[in-house]
Amino acid sequence: MKQLPHLQSRREFLAASTALTAGALAGCATPDASLKQGFIDAHVHVWTPDTNAFPLAAGFQKSAMQPPSFTPEELLALARPNGVTRVVLIQMSFYRFDNRYMLDAMRRFPGVFAGVGIVDDSAARPQDAMRTLAKQGVRGFRINPGSQTVDAWLGSPGMTEMWRCVGDDGLALCPLIGPNALPGIAAMCAKFPRTRVVIDHFARIGVSGEFLEADIAALCALAKFPHVHVKASAFYAFGQKRAPYLDFGPMIRRLRDTFGPQRLMWATDCPYQVQRGHTYADSVALIRDRLDFLSARDRDWMLRRTAEKVFFA
Ligand SMILES: [Zn+2]
């Protein structure tokens, strides 16, 4: 997701982060069981201001880190009071192919985090890096076209290897794309029918303010591939971009009817969801409480079971 200016105060973050710490669940008799009861936030980025231990990739400045700190502790202090017990961490762009900070969080909070890594798709054998990360618990890989055309991107030898490896090894590919890439993704799904795909952030439909019918139709066209999932996420970024986000209702209803709730997963895209007046609570509330066409079963899949199946099974 495009990085937005950080407008939440540092003080708010610090206040929240002292409320709950890494050890908060350590006192539970059955931490595993209690983790499984809660919701799963399927898309969050974490980072540390300690750029000595975890340097930014070439071309990124510390000023790109907004907020300057968003550690697992700061994230969990926001997530846990909202009933979220597990989170899928998405490798942050400014660490590029160095997935160590995400892996460090996964090790420090066993069972709490799943990981979606980033590897170099221009490498000769990206599958080698993928398998090394998969051994450390990474379950998915983020891909995006960057400055390439969609055809050049999806047509590259590295992309062929990645789609094949994900299918062979039961992992997931997470394309960060706009609606223009949806036909290309459909062609790849036809070519690699076993490859599990999780489309980020509704394929960014509605970023300009309008949820265009042609775009929604292109996204729904992917439903014929049984391994395609969609993240219902980043509500701060699309449509009216204003809580309570009820303008997402018709699109989410279409996706529920087309994909079924078993292929939709909710996510916040923190820390970007908690800036500029947007809150964690408003994000979860849209799916948990507000869209009255969602059944209790729909909500259960979208808030927990779909992400559990894809990223924690
Ligand atoms: Zn994101």
pLDDT tens-digit series, residues 201-260: 999 999 999 999 999 999 999 999 999 999 999 999 999 999 999 999 999 999 999 999
What domains appear along the chain, each with residue ranges and CATH number? 31-312 (3.20.20.140)
pLDDT of res. 32: 77
- Measure 28 CA to ligand 1 centroid, in angstroms: 31
- Measure 254 CA to ligand 1 centroid, in angstroms: 23
Of 15 and 227, the structure prediction assigns the larger pLDDT to 227
- Measure 47 CA to ligand 1 centroid, in angstroms: 12
**If you average pLDDT over every residue of the chain, what do you get?**
92
**Angstrom distance (rounded) from CA 87 to CA 30:** 19
3-state SS string over 47-100? ECCCCCCCCCCCCCCHHHCCCCCECHHHHHHHHHHHCEEEEEEECCHHHCCCCH
- Measure 27 CA to ligand 1 centroid, in angstroms: 32
Count of beta carbons in the 10 Å neighbourhood of residue 12: 12
Would you say 255 and 264 are in contact if contact means Cβ atoms under 8 Å apart? yes
pLDDT tens-digit series, residues 130-186: 999 999 999 999 999 999 999 999 999 999 999 999 999 999 999 999 999 999 999
Question: Model's pTM, two decimal places?
Answer: 0.90
Residues with CB under 5 A from ligand 1 (ion): 1, 269
- Measure 271 CA to ligand 1 centroid, in angstroms: 8
Would you say 274 and 29 are in contact if contact means Cβ atoms under 8 Å apart? no
- Measure 43 CA to ligand 1 centroid, in angstroms: 6
Reported confidence tier of residue 31, pLDDT bands at 50, 70, 90: low
- Measure 1 CA to ligand 1 centroid, in angstroms: 5
- Measure 64 CA to ligand 1 centroid, in angstroms: 14
Reported confidence tier of residue 299, pLDDT bands at 50, 70, 90: very high
Closest CA to 24 of 88, 89, 72, 90: 72
* Statement: residue 84 has pLDDT above 60: yes
| Residue type for position 156 | S
Reported confidence tier of residue 33, pLDDT bands at 50, 70, 90: confident
pLDDT of res. 58: 95
